[in-house]
Structures are given as C-alpha cells and as structure tokens.
C-alpha cells in the first residue's frame, strides 16, 4: 500500500498523471472562474456591438436634419409654420438622442475599464495556474 492509500485519500490516474483529490479541488474552481470570465467578456463584447449599432442610428439623424433644413429653406411661407413645428420636434428628438449618446459613451468608457481589469485578472489567473502546475510537477518529482 502506498502512503496515500494509507491516509484514505482519493486519487486516480489519467494518461500517466496521478491526480489526487486536492488537485481536483483546486483545479475545478480555477477552471470555473476562467470560464465565467470568458463568458463575461463575450457578453460585454455583444453589448458593445449593440451600442455601436445604436450610435450609427443616432448619427444618421444629423443628415435628416440637414435635409429638413434645406427643405424648409426651399419651401414657401404657407408651409413654414407646420414645418417649423416639425423641425422643433425633431431637434428635441436629436437633443434627447445626443444625451443618450453621451450616456452610452460613458458606459463604453466604464466598460473599457472593466474589460482592462478583467484582462489583468485573467492574466493573473493564467500565471497562478501555471505556477500550480509547476508545483504539482515539483511534488510529483521532488528530487529533480
């Protein structure tokens, strides 16, 4: 009987590697954390893409406003009152869209900070995993 079996520990062998219960207890949360981080990055990227699509819609409003201004300049005085009220409504909409765009810009900036922090965390996790594997290898071959 080996020392590990005397202690009543759990271990199994895969591809020539002896894996004990404590190694499994360390590896599962680390791998789970990395998977969660990858999911978060994917979700964040999807949200960025959605924000970019909304920004192009807001930017298209500017060309419509220019068209309306040109049409108002070309029209006669009879339709001026209705067109001015329409233009006023559209300008209010543009201002509201600009506020939303500024809010989206702030969210993008905040998301960039979160993404950078997440990237640093993932780099640290990678380093810790490599260190753990080196430690496992050192425990497996203590005299080398």
- Residue with the larger pLDDT of the pair 77 and 143: 143
As a whole number, the mean pLDDT across the chain is 83
Q: Is the pLDDT of residue 10 over 90?
A: no
Whether the pTM exceeds 0.75: the reply is: no
What is the pLDDT at residue 33?
93
Residue 76 is given by DSSP the state -
**Region 3-13 average pLDDT:** 64
- Residue with the larger pLDDT of the pair 75 and 35: 35
């Amino acid at each position: 009987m080996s020392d590990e079996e005397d202690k009543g520990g759990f271990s199994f062998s895969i591809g020539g590697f002896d894996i004990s219960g404590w190694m499994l207890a360390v590896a599962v949360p680390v791998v789970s954390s990395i998977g969660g981080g990858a999911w978060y990055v994917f979700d964040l990227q999807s949200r960025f893409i959605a924000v970019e699509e909304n920004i192009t819609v807001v930017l298209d409003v500017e060309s419509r406003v220019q068209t309306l201004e040109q049409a108002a300049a070309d029209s006669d005085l009879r339709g001026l009152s209705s067109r001015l009220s329409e233009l006023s409504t559209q300008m209010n909409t543009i201002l509201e869209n600009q506020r939303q765009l500024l809010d989206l810009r702030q969210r993008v900036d905040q998301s960039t900070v979160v993404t950078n922090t997440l990237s640093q965390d993932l780099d640290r996790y990678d380093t810790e995993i490599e260190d753990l594997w080196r430690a496992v290898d050192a425990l497996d071959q203590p005299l080398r």
